[in-house]
Amino acid sequence: MKKIGKFFVYLLFFIFALILFMPKSSLYYFAETELKEFGVLISNETLVESFSTLKVKNLDVSVKGIESVDIVSADFTLLGVYNNISFQNIKLSSIVEAYLPSKIEDMNIVYSLLHPLSIRAKAIGDFGEVNANFDLLELKLKADLKPSKLMLRRYRSSLHFFKKSKEGEYIYAKSIQ
């Protein structure tokens, strides 16, 4: 019984050390090269690595040669059991302003082993607040939007993709199959 206890202590220590000393910047650059295959180019970023997180500042994102997004700050927390990506101060391209407000204050994407078959996201911006869930098994996206007054007044045509609930929220559901 004592040997089994020691084994689990050593195993937990090894996993903890692996997570702490993992080269997070190398994982970031690997993800960046994988995104290039889909036409997504990230440039002008500055990386700051710490024990549990990777902070990336001043990201300029282009999709298929079109400047799409400017992100002031992104924090990546990769712990295996709990993974979190947090973006602050996102400015969408002026092309999008005809359809949506261009400022997103905060966006948080979470994957956890407590919910292994879903990725959750929450965003707050000039459009209001949105909570989204992507089901990995069924490949379904569901988003609940609480629109801001600006969204309801100026971008009413974009809300046609959503169904209005009785509580005043707007719901978007789509299967990616």
Q: What is the mean pLDDT of each run of 10 residues along the chain (177 residues)?
A: 84 80 86 93 91 90 91 90 93 87 95 93 96 95 94 89 88 88
> 99, 72, 75: which is closest to 159 by C-alpha?
99
> 61, 63, 69: which is closest to 38 by C-alpha?
63
> 41, 70, 66: which is closest to 57 by C-alpha?
70
- Output the pLDDT for position 149: 92
- pTM: predicted TM-score of the whole model, two decimal places: 0.84
Residue 52 region by backbone torsions, left for phi larger than 0, else alpha for psi between -120 and 50, else beta? alpha
